[in-house]
Amino acid sequence: MTDSYTRLVSQGLGKDLAKRLGLPQPAVLRRYTPGQALVTGPVLVQGSTAGADELAATLLSWNLDVRRHAVPREKLGAIILVLDGLTTPEDLEKPVLSAASSLRDLGPSARFISISRPAAEAGSPAVAAARQGVDGFVRSLAKELRAGATANGILLSSTVGTTSPSALAALRFFLSGRSAFVDGQFLTVSTAEGTMPADVQKPLAGKVAVVTGAARGIGAAITRTLHRDGATLILVDVPAAGDHLAAVANEVHGTALQLDISRTDAGQRILGHAVQRHGHLDILVHNAGITRDKLLANMDHARWNSVLNINIAAQLRINDALLASEHFRNAPRIVSVASTSGIAGNRGQTNYAASKGGVMGMVRATAPLLAARGGTINAVAPGFIETEMTARIPFAVREVGRRLNALQQGGLPSDVAEAIAFLASDAAGGINGDILRVCGQNLVGA
């Protein structure tokens, strides 16, 4: 559900009043529902490289209404700017200003997507400057777009083409309503791995997935989204949340495992449950997490230790158990829930931010271990999401947190779940060790 202020200012009198008073005017975002068109309106593919031509041909084969040149005053669903051949910062001018002339034609919840190469892989300072320039340009444009439109980018490693499986999967994710609350972000496709699903409506068909902290909030939303996408679910939460856990498990036709993930045998228990019922495990979503906020000057051992133990130490132990198992070997996927607090820092959250920074460090370092099994591990870093965790924040602080992003609203648990479902899919096999923020481009931090 969109918050009541957003509903109030999105139509009629409320809309006029908010405009006159200069109040935030968040748009009602276009979110994914099964069967929904990938994008609403023509897709303008700009760029003069072979990669741009190949991509445009692929999008045509998807039956999208593709344009290679702007048609004046035609409402666009998306602009895709292919910049995979940049050699100097001067190369940016022509394509960027050409795309600029079409920005006013973008419809509500439209998409701007750049496709370029990582600066870190550049062979010269000029190439690196041009590539890093794309980063600053896209993040700034994301702050300029209105009416629920977003700007994001895809970075392709040198061996990866514009039509490689994960490049196309990332493009589909960014084009679709699945990425409604992802804004000003980049996904890096590091290999040409990945396979497109037989059925795009059921990309997780046949997969067995474990979600921790599944009794409520973001975890419950993750199980619903993975179930919708075809996965078989195992839901983990503490015994005290048993009733809620059972209710969500029934809803998604999954099984409940009452377990405190900070137990040293948690990994074995999860594996045992999965193997006994399904013979193997494909996807692990580390979602369970807690906050115990205090200024560091007032921090005690119990607050520090419980947050670090549940939010990161437990993930490390569970990963070790799974990675040692022959039942987690078939292109496995791990997706961890981090937080923008772990990137930008947050007053009163030194313990939480240390744990979430730890999650991101763990994900990057574990990526080669997953790659060795044909798998991936990635993290999703949510910003302000409307859950019971954020409902407990005092009203004024909550209202500021909610509006302080380019989309001027809090995200929904389903927004985080969509990003996780995407990263857990076979099509995302070329994305490994990456961190994707789902934060509406929170104005705090990177």
Residues designated catalytic: 352
d(CA 138, CA 418): 22
Find all residues with CB under 8 Å of 153, minimum gap 6, and list them. Answer: 113, 114, 115, 116, 134, 135, 138, 185, 186, 187
241 near ligand NAD (CB under 6 A): yes
Burial of 397 (0-12, 13-18, 19+ CB in 10 A): exposed
Q: How far is the CB of 412 from ligand NAD (least distance, A)?
A: 10
Interface residue with ligand NAD, options 339, 409, 414, 441 (CB under 6 A):
339
186 near ligand NAD (CB under 6 A): no
In the complex with ligand NAD, the residue whose CB is nearer, 167 or 241, is 241
Q: Is 382 helix (H, G, I), strand (E, B) or coil?
A: strand
Give the per-residue contact string, 252-271, with ligand NAD (x = CB under 6 A; - = no): --------xxx---------
Helix, strand, coil percent content, the chain, rounded in steps of 5: 45, 15, 40
Interface residue with ligand NAD, options 186, 328, 384, 422 (CB under 6 A):
384
Interface residue with ligand NAD, options 184, 219, 254, 429 (CB under 6 A):
219
Interface residue with ligand NAD, options 129, 290, 331, 354 (CB under 6 A):
290
Q: How far is the CB of 384 from ligand NAD (least distance, A)?
A: 5
Phi, psi values for residue 420, rounded to 5°: -70, -45
Q: How far is the CB of 439 from ligand NAD (least distance, A)?
A: 8
Q: Which stretch binds ligand NAD (CB under 6 A): 160-168, 179-187, 284-292, 417-425?
A: 284-292
243 near ligand NAD (CB under 6 A): no
Burial of 368 (0-12, 13-18, 19+ CB in 10 A): exposed
155 DSSP β-pair partners: 116, 188
Reported as type and span, the H/E element at residue 125 is: helix 125-144
287 near ligand NAD (CB under 6 A): yes
Q: Which stretch binds ligand NAD (CB under 6 A): 160-168, 171-179, 282-290, 320-328?
A: 282-290
Binding-site size for ligand NAD (CB under 6 A) equals 28
Interface residue with ligand NAD, options 22, 388, 392, 396 (CB under 6 A):
388
Q: Which stretch binds ligand NAD (CB under 6 A): 28-36, 60-68, 103-111, 236-244?
A: 236-244
Interface residue with ligand NAD, options 42, 217, 430, 433 (CB under 6 A):
217
Phi, psi values for residue 405, rounded to 5°: -150, 165
288 near ligand NAD (CB under 6 A): yes
Cα 298 to Cα 258, 289, 431: the distances in Å are: 33, 21, 40
Burial of 144 (0-12, 13-18, 19+ CB in 10 A): exposed
341, 349 in Cβ contact below 8 A?
A: yes
d(CA 374, CA 337): 21
404 near ligand NAD (CB under 6 A): no
77 near ligand NAD (CB under 6 A): no
Pick from 238, 256, 179, 214: which is nearest to 412 by CA? Answer: 179
Q: How far is the CB of 443 from ligand NAD (least distance, A)?
A: 15
248 near ligand NAD (CB under 6 A): no
Segment 307-336, which members bind ligand NAD (CB under 6 A)?
A: 310
Structure tokens belonging to residue 176: 């679709």
212 near ligand NAD (CB under 6 A): yes
d(CA 433, CA 361): 9
Interface residue with ligand NAD, options 47, 148, 254, 382 (CB under 6 A):
382
Q: How far is the CB of 325 from ligand NAD (least distance, A)?
A: 20
What b/e readout covers 9-46, taking b as 16+ CB neighbours within 10 angstroms?
bbeeebeeebeeeeeebbbbbbbbeeeeebbbbbbbbb
> Rule CB under 6 A: which residues touch ligand NAD?
212-213, 215-219, 236-238, 241, 260-262, 287-290, 310, 337, 339, 382, 384-385, 387-390
